[in-house]
Structure 1
């Protein structure tokens, strides 16, 4: 189940693995590291003799720290999913809330993806490819590898049992 900002439980949604927060933290860190180094170098070489000297050396690392520490927890808290009899539901976001419903009859094929960070923290992503062009790929990150395989098996079984799928 997923808990919203007010502490209320959203019925029927499951949370992804807690290790996914660490994957997000390291991913954010890898993005911010060159920006922090670049801002420090720019500040020391270009802005040192101006009234703005030292500003980038403080603001960019502070913003990076907030993004690496706070954002992953917020993303994780707002990511939930449910496998219902005829569809897969993936819910994410707060300010830009997205509630994606994937009818299982539209599923073309499934992938289970695991990058190095996923392997390190025991997570995987279920990638659902559907018929159509717009939003034809739905990714559900942060699952345990066993849960991703279980969901893929259930969806695959539904596709094979559907007489209209061919």
Structure 2
């Protein structure tokens, strides 16, 4: 890693397919939750003969299913983070770019978390809490998450050592 270079999450992961698969599971859950109101509306449409609304309520689940298939990969490709000696920088977004910079000397806590699906896929998320802000780094392998957490803690110790 060269100094000042922004690394994408693809360069940091050896298996990006697992992250995309995890995001697909997340979107699948959201899509299934969206189907419940659609099924209720379908019942009311048939029960009360609202046939003019029928097409609309069948198109919405198809659009959400297409979103579930393509959104994780697009979101994954437009996410990056960089751990500089004095700051942590994250960038997200395709159209609305969000760039977050947190100074190392403001960091108070580093948390590694895994959900049930992420642990099955061997992924973990590193969350950095600072005074007034919280940055969640993208999902990485569990070993990489441990390495990143140690790196951040070492950088915090270096900065506080000088103070």
TM-score (norm: length of structure 2)? 0.83
Aligned pairs, how many? 154
Q: Would you identify which runs of 4 or more consecutive aligned residues in structure 1 move more than 4 Å?
A: none
Residue matched to 2:100? 100
Q: What are the ranges of 5 or more consecutive residues in structure 2 without an aligned counterpart? A: none
Residue matched to 1:52? 52
1:1-166 equivalence runs, <5 A: 12-16=6-10, 17=13, 18=16, 19-46=18-45, 49-131=49-131, 133=132, 136-163=133-160
Partner deviation per Cα, 1:27-67 (whole Å, 9 max, x = no partner): 11111213213213312323562342432442122122112
Asked if 1 retains the 8 angstrom alpha-carbon contact of 2:109 and 2:128, the reply is: yes
Q: Secondary structure at the match of 1:102?
A: strand
Q: Which piece of structure 1 moves more, 84-93 or 51-60?
A: 51-60
Q: Which piece of structure 1 moves more, 48-57 or 27-36?
A: 48-57
Q: Secondary structure at the match of 1:112?
A: strand
Asked if 2 retains the 8 angstrom alpha-carbon contact of 1:44 and 1:53, the reply is: no
Q: What are the ranges of 5 or more consecutive residues in structure 1 without an aligned counterpart? A: 2-10
Structure 2 CA distance for aligned equivalents of residues 148 and 25 of structure 1: 21
Partner deviation per Cα, 1:41-95 (whole Å, 9 max, x = no partner): 3123235623424324421221221121011111101111111121111111112
Partner deviation per Cα, 1:80-116 (whole Å, 9 max, x = no partner): 1111121111111112211111111111110001011
Structure 1 CA distance for aligned equivalents of residues 29 and 160 of structure 2: 46
Asked if 2 retains the 8 angstrom alpha-carbon contact of 1:43 and 1:53, the reply is: no
TM-score (norm: length of structure 1)? 0.82
Q: Secondary structure at the match of 2:41?
A: helix
Structure 1 CA distance for aligned equivalents of residues 125 and 149 of structure 2: 11
Q: Residue 46 and residue 149 in structure 1: after superposition, are their counterparts in 2 closer, same or farther (change >3 A)?
A: same
Asked if 2 retains the 8 angstrom alpha-carbon contact of 1:29 and 1:64, the reply is: no
